[in-house]
Structures are given as structure tokens and as C-alpha cells.
Amino acid sequence: MALLMEHQFRQLPADKQVETRPFLEAVSHLPPFFAIRSLMSSDFLGYSSSLIRDCLGSTIFSPIKADIVGNITKIKAVYDTNPTRFKTLQHILEAEKEMHGTEWPKVGATLALMGLRFIQVLLQSLVDGDKDESNPNLIRAALYAAPYRSDFLKALSKGREVKDEECLDKVRQFLVNFTATIDAIYEMYTKMNAELDYTV
């Protein structure tokens, strides 16, 4: 189950501020989750990459992977303009709200953060036994396109034969900080009165 556990999200501090640099380091390793069996020839966002596994086993997920890669690139581009000013994701959101006015939060790096909820819901549904009452259409679509559960768990375990429950325990561990991070991002949206019509 090393695929997710190798790049854990950090535990959030008490103020729930998400530091941009560590966030980018962790989130840059999520696209392999949706990869189309290929070898990336260049470094992804400056972090070395290797053979990417197709965990979900379907090219149906390739647009999701492309969207996530593009969105992470947007966040990194904003961060790179001034790493000191954009030390936390909240700083990026505040600057974009001011810059984009009425178009915010539907533009820029802000929109990019919203797509991460999809991964969180998918993984949570996996550990919950594929039951998610609040996102039934997402789960039905993902399960239709995804490989057999055992193949998916094997891919998450980097091809090793492991017991399903052992793999699911690792997914649960990964979800602790990942879910807290995603929830903190959505809390920021709420506090900033973002009108979100994006649903998973």
C-alpha cells in the first residue's frame, strides 16, 4: 500500500492553515492514481517521477488525471510567483478573490483545489465498502469504470499480494490527514463566502 503512504499529507496545525509547499509536494503524487500506463519523461512539478501505475484501470479516468495535473500546475504557478506571500493556501485564495472579483472562485488556483474532493470521496467509499449516500452518482460511475476491487487494491500495493484489510487500513491512515486537509480547504471557502456550485 506504499503508493499512497509514501507521500502522506502533513497533519494540520491547530489553526488549520495548509502550507502551500508541503501541500504541493504531497498532492503532486496523486495523479499516478489516475495515470494511463505510461512513463513520464520529465519531472512532475520538480519532483522526480517513475513508472506510473494505472490504479483505476480505465482510460475513462484520464480526463480526471489531466484535470488534476493541470490544476496542481495552476496552484504551483501562483505559489512560485511569491513563495513568501503565498506560504499558505489561504493566502492564495485571498489574493485570487481580490484579483478576480465576481469571477472568483470559478477561476484560477481556487477552482483547482475543488477537484481534490473527488479523490477523497472515492477513497473513503472504498474503505466504507463502496457505500456513499451523499455521493451515489460519483461512486456508481467510479465503480463502473474502475477495475475489480482486488485489482485496485493490488495496484495500490504496488503489485504485491497483500490482504485486502491490510491495504484498506493503509488507505484509512492516508485519509486521516488528506481528509482533514480537504475539509480545511472547504472551510476556507465557507469563511470567504465562496459560492460553490461544484459537487462531487
pLDDT of residue 136: 54
pLDDT of residue 141: 56
State which fold the 2-191 domain adopts: Glycolipid transfer protein, GLTP (1.10.3520)
At residue 51, what are phi and psi to the nearest 5 degrees?
-55, 125
Helix (H, G, I), strand (E, B) or coil at 46: coil
Cα–Cα distance for residue pair 126/153, rounded to 1 Å: 10
pLDDT of residue 124: 86
Which whole-number Å values give the CA distances from 197 to 27, 106, 114, 140, 155, in the listed order?
23, 9, 10, 21, 33
Cα–Cα distance for residue pair 159/154, rounded to 1 Å: 5
pLDDT of residue 53: 40
Count of helix runs (H) and strand runs (E) in the chain: 9, 2
pLDDT in tens, the chain (200 residues): 456 777 889 999 999 999 999 999 888 877 665 553 333 333 334 433 332 344 555 565 667 677 777 878 888 999 999 999 999 999 998 998 898 888 887 776 666 666 688 788 878 888 887 555 555 555 555 555 555 667 677 777 777 777 888 888 988 999 999 999 999 998 988 888 877 655 54
Closest CA relative to residue 8, chosen from 20, 21, 26: 26
Quick one: cell of 64?
480526471
Looking at residue 192, the DSSP 8-state letter turns out to be T
Q: Which helix (H) or strand (E) holds 38?
A: strand 38-39
Domain parsing of the chain, residue ranges:
2-191
Cα–Cα distance for residue pair 179/159, rounded to 1 Å: 25
pLDDT of residue 89: 92
pLDDT of residue 10: 93
